[in-house]
Structure 1
Amino acid sequence: MPEKLAVAVDFGGTKVEAALVSANGTVVEGSRHRAPTGRAADSSQLEQSVTGVVASAIAARPQGDTIVGVGIGSAGPVLVSEGLVSPLNVPAWRDYPMRELIRSSVAGELGDVPVELQMDGVAITLAEHWVGAGQGVDNLMGMVVSTGIGGGLILGGRVVAGPTGNAGHIGHVDVAGIVGEDTFGNRGSLEAIASGPHTVAWANSQGWVGGTGEELAASYAAGDELARQAIVRTGTALGQAIASATALLDLELVAIGGGFSQSTPDLLTVIRETIARHHFGFVRKVRVAPSGLSGTGPLVGAGAIIHRAEMLRRP
Structure 2
Amino acid sequence: MRSDALVAALDIGGTKIAGGLVDRAGTLLHEVQVPTPAKAEAAQVLGAVRAVLDLLVAHEGWRAVDRVGVGSAGPVDTVAGTVSPVNIPAWRDYPLVARMAAHPAVAVGRLRVVLGGDAVAMTAAEHWAGAARGFSHALCLVVSTGVGAGLVLHGEVHAGATGNAGHLGHITVDLDGDPCPCGSRGCLERVASGTAIAAWASGHGWRPEGDDTSAAAVAASARAGDPVALAAFDRAGRALAAGIAATATLVELEAAILGGGVLRAGELLLDPLRRHLRTYAALPFTRGIQILPAALGTRAGLVGAAALALRPIPAGEPELTPLRRDVP
Output the TM-score relative to the length of structure 1: 0.92
How many angstroms apart in 2 are the aligned matches of 1:125 and 1:2? 23
Task: State the Cα RMSD in Å.
Answer: 2.1
Over 3 Å counting, the alpha-carbon distance change for 1:58 and 1:281 in structure 2 is: farther
1:177-216 pair list within 5 angstroms: 179-180=177-178, 183-210=181-208, 211-216=213-218
Residue 200 of structure 2 contacts residue 232 of structure 2 at CA under 8 Å; is this kept in 1?
Answer: yes
Match of 2:275 among 273, 279, 288: 273
Q: What SS is found at the alignment partner of 1:174?
A: coil
| CA distances 1:276-299 after superposition (whole Å, capped 9, x unpaired) | 123212212211111010211111
Which deviates more, 71-80 or 267-276? 267-276
Say which is worse superposed, 83-92 or 273-282, in terms of deviation: 273-282
* 1:51-200 to 2 correspondences below 5 Å: 51-62=50-61, 66-107=64-105, 111-176=109-174, 179-180=177-178, 183-200=181-198
2:222–2:268 CA contact under 8 A, matched in 1 = no
Match of 2:21 in 1: 20
CA shift in 2, pair 1:291/1:82, >3 Å: same
Contact 1:160 1:167 in 2 (8 A): yes
Helix, strand or coil at the partner of 2:103: helix
Q: Secondary structure at the match of 2:275?
A: helix
Task: Note closer, same or farther for the CA distance 1:52–1:169 as it changes in structure 2 (3 Å cut).
Answer: same
Q: Which position in structure 2 is the counterpart of 1:301?
A: 304
Distance 1:106 1:169 in 2: 33
Between the aligned partners of 1:224 and 1:48, the Cα distance in structure 2 is 42
Aligned pairs (5 A) from 1:180-259: 180=178, 183-210=181-208, 211-259=213-261
Which deviates further from its counterpart, 87-96 or 106-115?
106-115
- Structure 2 unaligned spans of 5+: 317-328
The Cα shift of 1:268 comes to 1.1
State the alpha-carbon separation in 1 of the partners of residues 70 and 174 from structure 2: 33
State the shift of 1:59 in Å: 2.0
Q: State the percentage of identical aligned residues.
A: 39
Match of 1:36 in 2: 35
Aligned residue type for 1:6:
V
Q: Using a 3 Å threshold, how does the CA distance of structure 1 residues 207 and 37 change in structure 2: closer, same or farther? A: same
Task: State the TM-score, normalizing by the size of structure 2.
Answer: 0.89
C-alpha separation in 1, matches of 2:75 and 2:267 = 29
Distance 1:23 1:208, change over 3 A: same
1:250, distance to aligned residue in structure 2 (A): 0.5
Structure 1 unpaired stretches of 5+: none
The 1:49–1:191 alpha-carbon spacing in structure 2 relative to 1, beyond 3 Å, is: same
